[in-house]
Structure 1
Amino acid sequence: MLPTPESLEGKPVPQVTFKARPDDQWRDISTDELFKGKTVIVFSLPGAYTPTCSSTHLPRYNELAPVFHENGVDDIVCMSVNDAFVMNEWKQGQDAANVTVIPDGNGDFSEGMGMLVDKRNLGFGMRAWRYSMLVRDGVIDKMFIEPEKDGDPFEVSDAETMLRYINPAAQVPEPVVVFSKPGCPHCARAKAALDGRGLSYTDISQNQHINASVLRAVSGATTWPQVFIGGKLIGDADALEQHLVADPKAASRKP
């Protein structure tokens, strides 16, 4: 039986020492180091590389990290009952630079939270239940625990739910993708325009198996760069600059 959010809110997080490998060097990280004097979001998941964790849970927290920071969050921690090597490789493969991954390898933190569950029927052993929480100076301010049902429910621990709790009026940026070419001055101009507006973006370079044929297939153009915002083609650097001038709130929306 999982605990209720109300039974955990207002209580300190468990005191645990994590065996981590930041910068590929073994280091013990204590609960106090993670949480003391900080406002931290923690989202916990059953395992690195699993479908929901890789496709949605981690990527969206990473994507919304700048918005969380603007709203008073110091760090975003992803925790799973995996070892440090697995967590580090997963983070690198997910390109999740905005999230701190913490290996709860022995499940001590998850057990202390009352969130360690038996997944031996899947060959997983003991794993963490999926949840998220906001921790202020080591004390749990808010918990979102997925409903106790079969499978891997993902209904309340998502990034948008957490952001709505922290600030319902927060503006969420639309995803921005830039198809660029190394050495292209117009590509550099487009990226500078986005940087000048404080907009994060995914840069898909020609070196990443993107050629003129692929560019034409996705954008209908063969000139670099081509910029997409929220799934909509904006166009080249000139079109992007015009778009940003015409729409002062470009690339932003409410959650």
Structure 2
Amino acid sequence: MSQHTVIKTSDDMQGKRVPNVIFRVRENDEWTNISSDDLFKGKTVVVFSLPGAFTPTCSSTHLPRYNELANTFTANGVDSIVCMSVNDTFVMNAWKQDQEADNITVIPDGNGEFTAGMGMLVGKEDLGFGKRSWRYSMLVKDGVVTKMFVEPDVPGDPFEVSDADTMLDFINPQARKPSSVALLSKPGCPYCVRAKALLQDKGIAYEEIVLGKDATSVSVKAISGRATVPQVFFDGKLIGGSEELAEFLAND
């Protein structure tokens, strides 16, 4: 069980203003201050808060999915997505760069002031973490919490309701989510260039796995059952090479 006195429930905070805090951040090798008003005043903001940068669930799922769905959130009226953690600004900046999370604003609540004001500061001394944030997400409009998803108070690090899909479904259950697209390629392959151009022309984000860098020809055959590249996947389904991709996109 997490070491804490009381974690506030979503009902405790909904309809209330977020804490008024000044965050010390490092931007372009200089110190600067960002206030709660800078983040929230006159804006619709999605916040997700987590125990720590570089930790497993935060790095593998929580942050990446919010980053992946950022354009969909924008299309549904969200001005920005903020990731909050009780870490220092150097750690948060390094984590954002490592995750290539360009669509996310990372905010270091290094002293835990914002998190404590939200009633979400918990003890993680058993892990050597000290005080950290309980995992939650919230929708904030002009500084007022309109919806919160707080993870259940159970042992460990639950991750059931603060995910990006749950938040997006609350904002708009009919929102069309982008496909997860992967492209297996190799340097100097003209068909790979064509496949990437087809995806880019459609505005489709994709993750490229490059032979010789990220994988080998053995991996291509093991994953796709084929020996040639490119091989394109949409939501786990093999589409095929550039010709098959062109046909698929034409019929989509």
Residue 119 (str. 1) matches residue 137 (str. 2): no
How many percent identity over aligned positions?
61
- Once the two structures are superposed, the pairs formed by residues 16-165 of structure 1 within 5 Å of their partners are 16-165=21-170
Task: Report what 1:170 is aligned to.
Answer: 175
Residue 25 (structure 1) shift: 3.4
Q: TM-score, normalised by structure 1?
A: 0.91
**Which residue is 1:206 aligned to?**
211
Report what 1:251 is aligned to.
none
TM-aligned CA deviation for residue 205 of structure 1: 2.3
| Per-residue CA distance 1:86-132 (angstroms, 9 max, x = gap) | 11222222222221111111101101111111121221111111100
Tell me which amino acid in the other structure corresponds to 2:140: V
Asked if 1:233 is matched to 2:231, the reply is no
Structure 1: stretches of 5+ with no match in the other structure? 249-255
Give aligned pairs, total: 247
Please report how far the alpha carbon of residue 209 of structure 1 lies from its aligned counterpart in structure 2 after TM superposition: 3.7
TM-score by length of 2: 0.92
The secondary structure found in structure 1 opposite 2:53 is: coil
Q: Specify the code of the residue in structure 1 equivalent to 2:193.
A: A
**Partner of 2:224 in structure 1?**
219
Report the AA paired with residue 217 of structure 1: A
> Which of 194, 197, 202 matches 2:199?
194
Q: Separation in 2 of the partners of 1:10 and 1:194?
A: 42
Q: 1:166 to 1:244 in 2, by over 3 A?
A: same
Residues 175 and 23 from structure 1, CA distance in 2 versus in 1: closer, same or farther, beyond 3 angstroms?
A: farther
Deviation at 1:75, TM superposition (A): 1.0
**How far is 1:3 from its partner?**
1.5
* Structure 2 gaps, min length 5: 1-5
* C-alpha deviation, 1:32, in angstroms: 1.2
Task: Name the aligned partner's letter for residue 235 of structure 2.
Answer: G
Letter in 2 for 1:237: S
1:207: Cα distance to partner?
Answer: 5.1
* In structure 2, distance between residues paired with 1:188 and 1:100: 32
Q: How far has the Cα of 1:76 moved from its partner?
A: 0.8
Deviates more, 1:158-167 or 1:189-198: 189-198
Letter in 1 for 2:11: E
